[in-house]
């Protein structure tokens, strides 16, 4: 049986900010239907990886391929149209717009909107709070509700790959449980996810595979069992 091709393949990626090298030749793969975690201490290069994939940060070397096609030099709007969506750190919803108006922004990259009604019903099934607050300004939602809105908005672009940057940041533990429940539901529905998370232990336990970055390089990668045999996730540098 042939080996499946990765949906996302990053090879030898180098990112520099002036004299600072943020990524030192990292390589990773994400296969269709997987949840892949990206963990590591602050400054390890996790967000820089997502920014480079999404076209928000220029790369100094390396290759990023999505479904076999190079993303080199593509601006974010073309990356979105290729089938990738990003939920950035801090959620970045538009607080002066209503929930409904924020959701409509997720439809912007789409040319085919024939199934929007059906997809909105699915969104409200995943995030019932958004249906209750459709006409409420997003800035009045709680942090957890804003995170749900940010994920829902990204899903409405119909991504084949969802990039999530620190979705649990600043949320109470019970709200974090709800966010991970939603991510699990998305996985069961076939959404492919690359997840950057501060909660290392939970990410390794949740993801199909995880990459640990340290100083801009991949230090360890593998499944939960493989990583557990290589490192102690309670080690101080992970902050857990």
Question: What is the domain-level CATH number for residue 64?
Answer: 3.40.50.300
Q: Are 92 and 164 in contact (CB under 8 A)?
A: no
Predicted pLDDT of residue 17:
95
Spatial neighbors of 149 by CB under 8 A, at least 6 apart, are 91, 93, 99, 102, 103, 127, 130, 138, 141
Q: Domain residues for 214?
A: 8-238
Q: Per the domain annotation, does 226 fall within a domain? A: yes
Q: Per the domain annotation, does 72 fall within a domain? A: yes
Helices 143-155 + 116-126 axis angle, to 10: 150
- Strand pairing class (192-196; 20-30): unpaired
Q: Per the domain annotation, does 2 fall within a domain? A: no
- Could you report the per-residue pLDDT of 130-164, keeping only the tens digit for each? 999 999 999 999 988 999 999 999 999 889 999 99
Q: Are 44 and 89 in contact (CB under 8 A)?
A: no
Spatial neighbors of 104 by CB under 8 A, at least 6 apart, are none
Q: Per the domain annotation, does 178 fall within a domain? A: yes
- Strand pairing class (84-87; 69-70): unpaired
Predicted pLDDT of residue 236:
39
Highest averaged pLDDT of the listed ranges 58-62, 91-95, 113-117, 144-148: 58-62
Alpha-helix residue ranges (DSSP H) falling in 156-230? 173-188, 200-206, 224-228
- Among 23-32, 37-46, 69-78, 110-119, name the one with the lowest average pLDDT: 110-119
**Percentage of the residues of the chain whose pLDDT score is greater than 90:** 66
Helix or strand (DSSP H, E) at 149: helix 143-155
Q: Per the domain annotation, does 1 fall within a domain? A: no
Predicted pLDDT of residue 2:
63
- Among 154-163, 193-202, 226-235, name the one with the lowest average pLDDT: 226-235
Confidence of residue 114 (pLDDT cuts 50, 70, 90): confident
Q: Per the domain annotation, does 97 fall within a domain? A: yes
Q: Per the domain annotation, does 75 fall within a domain? A: yes
Please give the tally of structural domains in the chain: 1
Confidence of residue 239 (pLDDT cuts 50, 70, 90): very low
Closest CA to 230 of 212, 203, 206, 217: 212
């Amino acid at each position: 049986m042939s080996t499946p091709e990765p949906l996302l393949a990053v090879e030898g990626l180098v990112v520099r900010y002036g004299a600072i090298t943020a990524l030192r030749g990292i390589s990773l793969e994400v296969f269709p239907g997987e949840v892949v975690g990206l963990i590591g201490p602050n400054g390890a290069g996790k967000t820089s990886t997502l920014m480079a994939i999404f076209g928000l940060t220029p790369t100094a070397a390396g290759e990023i391929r999505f479904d076999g096609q190079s993303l080199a030099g593509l601006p974010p709007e073309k990356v979105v149209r290729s089938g990738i969506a990003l939920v950035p750190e801090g959620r970045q919803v538009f607080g002066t717009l209503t929930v409904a108006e924020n959701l409509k922004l997720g439809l912007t990259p789409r040319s085919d909107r024939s199934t929007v009604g059906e997809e909105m019903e699915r969104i409200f099934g995943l995030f019932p709070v958004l249906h209750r607050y459709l006409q409420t300004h997003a800035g009045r939602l709680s942090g957890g509700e804003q995170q749900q809105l940010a994920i829902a908005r990204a899903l409405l672009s119909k991504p084949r790959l969802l990039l999530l940057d620190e979705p649990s940041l600043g949320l109470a533990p019970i709200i974090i449980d709800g966010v991970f429940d939603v991510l699990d539901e998305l996985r069961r529905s076939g959404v492919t996810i690359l997840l950057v998370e501060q909660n290392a232990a939970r990410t390794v336990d949740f993801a199909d595979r995880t990459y640990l970055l340290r100083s801009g390089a991949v230090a360890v990668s593998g499944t939960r069992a493989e990583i557990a045999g290589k490192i102690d996730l309670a080690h101080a540098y992970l902050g857990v």
